[in-house]
Structure 1
Amino acid sequence: METIINTPGKISGKTMAGIIIVIIGGLLLIDQLDLFFVPNWLLSWPMAIIAYGLYMGAKYNFKKPVYIWLLVIGTAFLLTDNIDNADRMVWPIAIIGTGAWMVMKHTKHDEAHAQDASYKEI
Protein backbone atom coordinates (compact mmCIF):
# COMPACT_ATOMS: atom_id res chain seq x y z
CA MET A 1 0.00 0.00 0.00
CA GLU A 2 1.35 3.39 -0.99
CA THR A 3 1.07 6.41 1.27
CA ILE A 4 1.27 9.89 -0.16
CA ILE A 5 2.56 12.51 2.23
CA ASN A 6 2.48 16.14 1.16
CA THR A 7 5.09 18.48 2.51
CA PRO A 8 3.43 21.40 4.33
CA GLY A 9 3.85 24.70 2.52
CA LYS A 10 4.74 23.06 -0.79
CA ILE A 11 2.41 23.59 -3.73
CA SER A 12 2.58 20.88 -6.36
CA GLY A 13 2.70 21.66 -10.06
CA LYS A 14 -0.77 20.20 -10.61
CA THR A 15 -2.22 22.34 -7.84
CA MET A 16 -0.62 25.47 -9.29
CA ALA A 17 -1.90 24.60 -12.78
CA GLY A 18 -5.40 24.15 -11.34
CA ILE A 19 -5.21 27.51 -9.57
CA ILE A 20 -4.09 29.25 -12.77
CA ILE A 21 -6.87 27.61 -14.79
CA VAL A 22 -9.50 28.61 -12.22
CA ILE A 23 -8.24 32.22 -12.23
CA ILE A 24 -8.25 32.37 -16.04
CA GLY A 25 -11.74 30.87 -16.19
CA GLY A 26 -12.99 33.31 -13.56
CA LEU A 27 -11.55 36.27 -15.46
CA LEU A 28 -13.12 35.07 -18.71
CA LEU A 29 -16.49 34.65 -16.99
CA ILE A 30 -16.31 38.12 -15.42
CA ASP A 31 -15.37 39.56 -18.82
CA GLN A 32 -18.35 37.87 -20.51
CA LEU A 33 -20.85 38.89 -17.83
CA ASP A 34 -19.57 42.49 -17.72
CA LEU A 35 -19.59 42.38 -13.91
CA PHE A 36 -16.34 44.27 -13.61
CA PHE A 37 -14.01 45.91 -16.06
CA VAL A 38 -11.24 43.51 -17.05
CA PRO A 39 -8.32 45.25 -18.82
CA ASN A 40 -7.38 43.88 -22.24
CA TRP A 41 -3.79 43.27 -21.20
CA LEU A 42 -4.93 40.88 -18.47
CA LEU A 43 -6.26 38.41 -21.05
CA SER A 44 -3.42 38.74 -23.56
CA TRP A 45 -0.83 36.25 -24.81
CA PRO A 46 2.06 37.85 -22.83
CA MET A 47 0.08 37.18 -19.65
CA ALA A 48 -0.23 33.55 -20.75
CA ILE A 49 3.59 33.39 -20.92
CA ILE A 50 3.83 34.97 -17.46
CA ALA A 51 1.26 32.51 -16.07
CA TYR A 52 3.19 29.59 -17.59
CA GLY A 53 6.38 30.97 -16.01
CA LEU A 54 4.70 31.03 -12.61
CA TYR A 55 3.47 27.48 -13.17
CA MET A 56 6.98 26.29 -14.07
CA GLY A 57 8.41 28.08 -11.04
CA ALA A 58 5.91 26.43 -8.71
CA LYS A 59 6.46 23.06 -10.35
CA TYR A 60 10.18 23.13 -9.53
CA ASN A 61 9.85 25.12 -6.26
CA PHE A 62 11.43 28.14 -7.96
CA LYS A 63 14.83 26.40 -8.06
CA LYS A 64 15.27 26.14 -11.84
CA PRO A 65 15.76 29.45 -13.66
CA VAL A 66 13.42 28.65 -16.56
CA TYR A 67 10.58 30.50 -14.86
CA ILE A 68 12.68 33.69 -14.68
CA TRP A 69 13.19 33.66 -18.44
CA LEU A 70 9.47 33.21 -19.08
CA LEU A 71 8.56 35.99 -16.66
CA VAL A 72 11.08 38.40 -18.19
CA ILE A 73 10.04 37.64 -21.77
CA GLY A 74 6.33 37.84 -20.94
CA THR A 75 6.79 41.12 -19.06
CA ALA A 76 8.86 42.60 -21.90
CA PHE A 77 6.21 41.72 -24.48
CA LEU A 78 3.45 42.97 -22.16
CA LEU A 79 5.17 46.33 -21.75
CA THR A 80 5.92 46.75 -25.46
CA ASP A 81 2.33 45.89 -26.41
CA ASN A 82 0.71 48.30 -23.94
CA ILE A 83 3.05 51.29 -23.64
CA ASP A 84 3.84 53.52 -26.61
CA ASN A 85 7.52 53.43 -27.67
CA ALA A 86 8.38 51.09 -24.80
CA ASP A 87 10.28 48.80 -27.19
CA ARG A 88 12.97 51.48 -27.45
CA MET A 89 13.80 50.95 -23.75
CA VAL A 90 12.55 47.46 -22.81
CA TRP A 91 14.63 45.34 -25.16
CA PRO A 92 17.99 47.08 -24.56
CA ILE A 93 17.39 46.87 -20.80
CA ALA A 94 16.50 43.18 -21.14
CA ILE A 95 19.67 42.49 -23.13
CA ILE A 96 21.85 44.42 -20.64
CA GLY A 97 20.20 42.59 -17.73
CA THR A 98 20.76 39.21 -19.38
CA GLY A 99 24.42 39.99 -20.00
CA ALA A 100 24.92 41.23 -16.43
CA TRP A 101 23.22 38.12 -15.04
CA MET A 102 25.48 35.87 -17.14
CA VAL A 103 28.63 37.71 -15.99
CA MET A 104 27.60 37.58 -12.33
CA LYS A 105 26.69 33.90 -12.57
CA HIS A 106 30.04 32.96 -14.08
CA THR A 107 31.95 35.16 -11.64
CA LYS A 108 30.38 33.37 -8.66
CA HIS A 109 31.05 30.01 -10.32
CA ASP A 110 34.74 30.85 -10.94
CA GLU A 111 35.22 32.11 -7.35
CA ALA A 112 33.75 28.89 -5.97
CA HIS A 113 36.16 26.81 -8.07
CA ALA A 114 39.11 28.95 -6.94
CA GLN A 115 38.19 28.39 -3.27
CA ASP A 116 37.75 24.64 -3.84
CA ALA A 117 41.13 24.41 -5.56
CA SER A 118 42.89 26.19 -2.68
CA TYR A 119 41.44 23.75 -0.17
CA LYS A 120 42.48 20.74 -2.22
CA GLU A 121 46.13 21.87 -2.42
CA ILE A 122 46.61 21.91 1.35
Structure 2
Amino acid sequence: MNKLRKSNNDGSIAFGFIILGIGVILLLRKVGFFIPSWILTWPMILIVIGLFSLIKHEFKTFFGFLMLFLGTYFLARNEFGLDFGIGQYVWPLGLIALGVYLIVHKRRENQVLDEIRSNWETKQKDKKSQMSAFSSSVEDAKIVDESKASESKASGEGSGFTRTTGTSFADSLNIDAIFSGVNRRMMTKNFQGGKITAAFGGADIDLSQADFSGVATIQVDIIFGGVKLIVPPHWDIRTEVSNIAAGLEDKRFFRDGGVDANKVVVLKGTILFGGLEIKSY
Protein backbone atom coordinates (compact mmCIF):
# COMPACT_ATOMS: atom_id res chain seq x y z
CA MET A 1 0.00 0.00 0.00
CA ASN A 2 1.42 3.33 -1.10
CA LYS A 3 1.02 6.16 1.32
CA LEU A 4 2.30 9.66 1.05
CA ARG A 5 4.40 10.66 4.02
CA LYS A 6 2.30 12.83 6.30
CA SER A 7 3.48 16.39 6.68
CA ASN A 8 4.67 17.50 10.10
CA ASN A 9 2.46 20.59 9.82
CA ASP A 10 -1.31 20.21 9.44
CA GLY A 11 -2.49 23.24 7.45
CA SER A 12 -6.13 22.66 8.41
CA ILE A 13 -5.27 23.53 12.03
CA ALA A 14 -3.75 26.86 10.99
CA PHE A 15 -6.73 27.57 8.76
CA GLY A 16 -9.06 26.77 11.65
CA PHE A 17 -7.30 29.28 13.89
CA ILE A 18 -7.57 31.95 11.16
CA ILE A 19 -11.33 31.38 10.79
CA LEU A 20 -11.67 31.38 14.58
CA GLY A 21 -9.83 34.71 14.79
CA ILE A 22 -12.03 36.29 12.12
CA GLY A 23 -15.15 35.11 13.93
CA VAL A 24 -13.95 36.49 17.26
CA ILE A 25 -13.14 39.88 15.68
CA LEU A 26 -16.60 40.11 14.08
CA LEU A 27 -18.29 39.11 17.33
CA LEU A 28 -16.35 41.66 19.40
CA ARG A 29 -17.21 44.37 16.90
CA LYS A 30 -20.92 43.49 17.03
CA VAL A 31 -21.06 43.67 20.82
CA GLY A 32 -19.44 47.12 20.90
CA PHE A 33 -15.73 46.50 21.38
CA PHE A 34 -13.44 48.85 19.50
CA ILE A 35 -11.87 47.07 16.54
CA PRO A 36 -9.59 49.13 14.24
CA SER A 37 -11.11 49.54 10.79
CA TRP A 38 -7.94 48.35 9.06
CA ILE A 39 -8.42 44.87 10.52
CA LEU A 40 -11.15 44.16 7.94
CA THR A 41 -9.51 45.74 4.85
CA TRP A 42 -8.42 43.92 1.69
CA PRO A 43 -4.66 44.12 2.46
CA MET A 44 -5.40 42.07 5.58
CA ILE A 45 -6.79 39.35 3.29
CA LEU A 46 -3.40 39.17 1.56
CA ILE A 47 -1.64 39.05 4.92
CA VAL A 48 -3.89 36.24 6.17
CA ILE A 49 -3.38 34.27 2.93
CA GLY A 50 0.38 34.74 3.24
CA LEU A 51 0.49 33.66 6.88
CA PHE A 52 -1.72 30.66 6.19
CA SER A 53 0.45 29.57 3.25
CA LEU A 54 3.68 30.01 5.25
CA ILE A 55 2.40 28.08 8.27
CA LYS A 56 0.96 25.33 6.09
CA HIS A 57 4.21 24.86 4.15
CA GLU A 58 6.52 25.36 7.14
CA PHE A 59 7.76 28.76 5.88
CA LYS A 60 9.16 27.21 2.69
CA THR A 61 6.83 28.78 0.12
CA PHE A 62 7.64 31.86 -1.96
CA PHE A 63 3.95 32.55 -2.55
CA GLY A 64 3.37 33.02 1.18
CA PHE A 65 6.20 35.52 1.51
CA LEU A 66 4.97 37.43 -1.56
CA MET A 67 1.39 37.71 -0.26
CA LEU A 68 2.63 38.74 3.21
CA PHE A 69 4.91 41.43 1.74
CA LEU A 70 2.22 42.89 -0.55
CA GLY A 71 -0.42 42.88 2.17
CA THR A 72 1.90 44.53 4.71
CA TYR A 73 3.02 47.18 2.24
CA PHE A 74 -0.48 48.18 1.09
CA LEU A 75 -1.78 48.14 4.67
CA ALA A 76 1.02 50.44 5.80
CA ARG A 77 0.50 52.75 2.81
CA ASN A 78 -3.31 52.91 2.81
CA GLU A 79 -3.99 53.01 6.54
CA PHE A 80 -0.89 54.58 8.07
CA GLY A 81 0.52 56.67 5.22
CA LEU A 82 3.84 54.82 5.19
CA ASP A 83 4.99 54.50 1.60
CA PHE A 84 8.72 53.98 2.36
CA GLY A 85 9.47 55.56 -1.02
CA ILE A 86 9.06 52.27 -2.87
CA GLY A 87 5.49 52.68 -4.17
CA GLN A 88 6.54 52.88 -7.82
CA TYR A 89 8.80 49.83 -7.48
CA VAL A 90 6.48 47.41 -5.67
CA TRP A 91 4.84 45.74 -8.67
CA PRO A 92 7.98 45.64 -10.89
CA LEU A 93 10.01 44.11 -8.05
CA GLY A 94 7.18 41.69 -7.25
CA LEU A 95 6.98 40.53 -10.87
CA ILE A 96 10.77 40.18 -11.10
CA ALA A 97 10.84 38.08 -7.92
CA LEU A 98 7.98 35.94 -9.21
CA GLY A 99 9.72 35.45 -12.56
CA VAL A 100 12.97 34.38 -10.87
CA TYR A 101 11.02 31.93 -8.71
CA LEU A 102 9.24 30.38 -11.69
CA ILE A 103 12.52 30.01 -13.62
CA VAL A 104 14.31 28.38 -10.69
CA HIS A 105 11.33 26.13 -9.98
CA LYS A 106 11.17 25.04 -13.64
CA ARG A 107 14.90 24.26 -13.68
CA ARG A 108 14.51 22.10 -10.60
CA GLU A 109 11.58 20.30 -12.22
CA ASN A 110 13.64 19.69 -15.38
CA GLN A 111 16.48 18.30 -13.27
CA VAL A 112 14.07 15.83 -11.67
CA LEU A 113 12.75 14.80 -15.08
CA ASP A 114 16.31 14.37 -16.41
CA GLU A 115 17.13 12.17 -13.43
CA ILE A 116 14.03 10.06 -14.08
CA ARG A 117 14.98 9.75 -17.74
CA SER A 118 18.53 8.72 -16.84
CA ASN A 119 17.28 6.05 -14.44
CA TRP A 120 14.82 4.79 -17.07
CA GLU A 121 17.56 4.53 -19.72
CA THR A 122 19.83 2.70 -17.26
CA LYS A 123 17.11 0.15 -16.52
CA GLN A 124 16.48 -0.34 -20.23
CA LYS A 125 20.19 -0.95 -20.85
CA ASP A 126 20.30 -3.49 -18.02
CA LYS A 127 17.29 -5.30 -19.46
CA LYS A 128 18.88 -5.39 -22.92
CA SER A 129 22.13 -6.74 -21.45
CA GLN A 130 20.29 -9.52 -19.62
CA MET A 131 18.36 -10.45 -22.74
CA SER A 132 21.55 -10.49 -24.80
CA ALA A 133 23.31 -12.78 -22.29
CA PHE A 134 20.36 -15.13 -22.21
CA SER A 135 20.13 -15.18 -26.01
CA SER A 136 23.81 -16.03 -26.44
CA SER A 137 23.46 -19.11 -24.23
CA VAL A 138 20.37 -20.55 -25.96
CA GLU A 139 20.13 -20.34 -29.74
CA ASP A 140 16.39 -20.91 -29.88
CA ALA A 141 15.79 -18.12 -27.39
CA LYS A 142 17.96 -15.86 -29.54
CA ILE A 143 15.75 -16.44 -32.54
CA VAL A 144 12.63 -15.68 -30.52
CA ASP A 145 14.17 -12.54 -29.04
CA GLU A 146 15.22 -11.27 -32.48
CA SER A 147 11.68 -11.78 -33.74
CA LYS A 148 10.22 -9.85 -30.79
CA ALA A 149 12.78 -7.08 -31.23
CA SER A 150 11.78 -6.68 -34.88
CA GLU A 151 8.09 -6.44 -33.92
CA SER A 152 8.86 -3.89 -31.19
CA LYS A 153 10.88 -1.77 -33.62
CA ALA A 154 8.08 -1.85 -36.18
CA SER A 155 5.51 -0.71 -33.62
CA GLY A 156 7.73 2.14 -32.34
CA GLU A 157 8.31 0.63 -28.88
CA GLY A 158 11.69 0.47 -27.16
CA SER A 159 12.92 3.63 -28.91
CA GLY A 160 14.06 5.17 -25.63
CA PHE A 161 12.64 7.71 -23.18
CA THR A 162 10.91 10.64 -24.89
CA ARG A 163 9.87 13.59 -22.78
CA THR A 164 6.68 15.14 -24.15
CA THR A 165 5.49 18.57 -23.06
CA GLY A 166 3.03 18.12 -20.24
CA THR A 167 3.77 14.39 -19.79
CA SER A 168 5.34 13.21 -16.56
CA PHE A 169 6.65 9.79 -15.53
CA ALA A 170 7.17 10.84 -11.90
CA ASP A 171 5.39 8.90 -9.17
CA SER A 172 4.06 11.97 -7.35
CA LEU A 173 2.59 15.38 -8.18
CA ASN A 174 4.41 18.62 -7.42
CA ILE A 175 2.42 21.35 -9.16
CA ASP A 176 2.74 25.09 -8.50
CA ALA A 177 0.49 27.13 -10.81
CA ILE A 178 1.14 30.70 -9.62
CA PHE A 179 -0.07 33.39 -11.99
CA SER A 180 0.18 30.74 -14.70
CA GLY A 181 -1.39 27.61 -16.15
CA VAL A 182 -0.06 24.06 -15.87
CA ASN A 183 -1.10 21.01 -17.92
CA ARG A 184 0.22 17.66 -16.73
CA ARG A 185 -0.48 14.08 -17.78
CA MET A 186 0.77 11.45 -15.34
CA MET A 187 1.90 8.14 -16.84
CA THR A 188 3.17 6.42 -13.69
CA LYS A 189 1.86 3.03 -12.61
CA ASN A 190 2.99 3.66 -9.04
CA PHE A 191 1.12 6.88 -8.26
CA GLN A 192 1.82 8.17 -4.73
CA GLY A 193 -0.21 11.39 -4.53
CA GLY A 194 1.52 14.73 -4.04
CA LYS A 195 0.51 18.40 -3.95
CA ILE A 196 -1.22 20.91 -6.25
CA THR A 197 -1.08 24.65 -5.56
CA ALA A 198 -3.01 27.03 -7.81
CA ALA A 199 -2.82 30.72 -6.90
CA PHE A 200 -4.17 33.20 -9.42
CA GLY A 201 -3.71 30.44 -11.99
CA GLY A 202 -5.00 27.06 -13.09
CA ALA A 203 -3.92 23.44 -13.42
CA ASP A 204 -5.26 20.59 -15.57
CA ILE A 205 -4.09 17.24 -14.21
CA ASP A 206 -4.77 14.08 -16.24
CA LEU A 207 -4.49 10.88 -14.20
CA SER A 208 -6.47 8.74 -16.64
CA GLN A 209 -3.33 6.81 -17.68
CA ALA A 210 -1.92 6.47 -14.14
CA ASP A 211 -2.40 3.55 -11.80
CA PHE A 212 -1.66 2.56 -8.21
CA SER A 213 -2.82 0.33 -5.40
CA GLY A 214 -3.72 1.44 -1.88
CA VAL A 215 -4.26 5.00 -0.66
CA ALA A 216 -2.81 8.14 -2.27
CA THR A 217 -3.19 11.61 -0.74
CA ILE A 218 -3.22 14.79 -2.84
CA GLN A 219 -2.86 18.14 -1.06
CA VAL A 220 -4.87 20.71 -3.04
CA ASP A 221 -4.57 24.42 -2.21
CA ILE A 222 -6.46 26.79 -4.50
CA ILE A 223 -6.53 30.56 -4.01
CA PHE A 224 -8.20 32.65 -6.71
CA GLY A 225 -7.61 29.84 -9.19
CA GLY A 226 -8.94 26.59 -10.56
CA VAL A 227 -7.94 22.93 -10.86
CA LYS A 228 -9.39 20.25 -13.14
CA LEU A 229 -8.60 16.68 -12.14
CA ILE A 230 -9.24 13.86 -14.62
CA VAL A 231 -9.24 10.40 -13.01
CA PRO A 232 -10.19 6.86 -14.06
CA PRO A 233 -13.88 6.18 -13.35
CA HIS A 234 -13.19 3.25 -11.02
CA TRP A 235 -10.99 5.19 -8.56
CA ASP A 236 -12.49 5.94 -5.16
CA ILE A 237 -12.14 9.73 -4.74
CA ARG A 238 -12.70 11.11 -1.25
CA THR A 239 -12.70 14.88 -0.68
CA GLU A 240 -11.70 16.43 2.63
CA VAL A 241 -11.11 20.01 1.49
CA SER A 242 -12.26 23.24 3.12
CA ASN A 243 -14.29 25.54 0.83
CA ILE A 244 -14.66 29.28 1.29
CA ALA A 245 -16.49 31.15 -1.47
CA ALA A 246 -15.45 28.30 -3.74
CA GLY A 247 -16.90 25.49 -5.81
CA LEU A 248 -16.22 21.76 -5.90
CA GLU A 249 -17.85 19.78 -8.72
CA ASP A 250 -17.73 16.02 -9.16
CA LYS A 251 -18.56 15.29 -12.82
CA ARG A 252 -17.20 11.76 -12.94
CA PHE A 253 -18.73 9.09 -15.12
CA PHE A 254 -19.43 6.09 -12.91
CA ARG A 255 -19.34 2.71 -14.62
CA ASP A 256 -21.59 -0.23 -13.71
CA GLY A 257 -18.85 -2.03 -11.79
CA GLY A 258 -18.64 0.72 -9.17
CA VAL A 259 -15.40 1.88 -7.56
CA ASP A 260 -12.32 -0.14 -6.69
CA ALA A 261 -11.79 -0.21 -2.92
CA ASN A 262 -8.07 -0.84 -3.50
CA LYS A 263 -7.58 2.49 -5.31
CA VAL A 264 -8.44 5.32 -2.92
CA VAL A 265 -7.45 8.95 -3.56
CA VAL A 266 -7.92 11.38 -0.66
CA LEU A 267 -8.09 15.08 -1.56
CA LYS A 268 -7.13 17.42 1.27
CA GLY A 269 -6.51 21.14 1.44
CA THR A 270 -8.28 24.48 1.04
CA ILE A 271 -10.17 26.19 -1.77
CA LEU A 272 -10.47 29.96 -1.34
CA PHE A 273 -12.26 31.94 -4.07
CA GLY A 274 -11.56 29.19 -6.58
CA GLY A 275 -12.84 25.91 -7.95
CA LEU A 276 -11.99 22.20 -8.17
CA GLU A 277 -13.53 20.02 -10.88
CA ILE A 278 -13.24 16.22 -10.91
CA LYS A 279 -13.95 14.41 -14.19
CA SER A 280 -13.54 11.01 -15.81
CA TYR A 281 -13.99 9.56 -19.28
Bin of the TM-score, shorter chain as denominator length: 0.5 to 0.7
Question: Which structure features the higher share of strand residues?
Answer: 2
Hey, what does 2:19 align to over in structure 1?
A: 21
Structure 1, gaps ≥5 residues long: 107-122
1:4-83 aligned at under 5 Å gives the runs 10-34=8-32, 36-83=33-80
Point out the structure with max Rg over C-alpha.
Answer: 2
**In structure 1, what residue type is equivalent to 2:87?**
W
Q: Counterparts of 2:6 and 2:34 in 1: how far apart (Å)? A: 38
RMSD over equivalenced CA pairs, Å: 3.1
Whether the 8 Å CA contact 1:76–1:90 is kept in 2: the answer is: no
Whether the 8 Å CA contact 1:80–1:90 is kept in 2: the answer is: no
Q: Counterparts of 1:87 and 1:74 in 2: how far apart (Å)? A: 13
Question: Which structure features the higher share of helix residues?
Answer: 1
Cα distance change on mapping 1:95 and 1:6 into 2, 3 Å? closer
Q: What is the CA-CA distance between 1:87 and the residue it aligns to?
A: 3.8
Q: Counterparts of 1:88 and 1:64 in 2: how far apart (Å)? A: 25
Whether the 8 Å CA contact 1:27–1:38 is kept in 2: the answer is: yes
**In structure 2, what residue type is equivalent to 1:18?**
G
Q: What is the CA-CA distance between 1:77 and the residue it aligns to?
A: 1.0
**In structure 1, what residue type is equivalent to 2:10?**
S
Q: What is the CA-CA distance between 1:93 and the residue it aligns to?
A: 6.6
Percent sequence identity over aligned pairs: 31
Structure 2, gaps ≥5 residues long: 105-281
Q: Which runs of 4+ in 1 moved over 6 A?
A: none
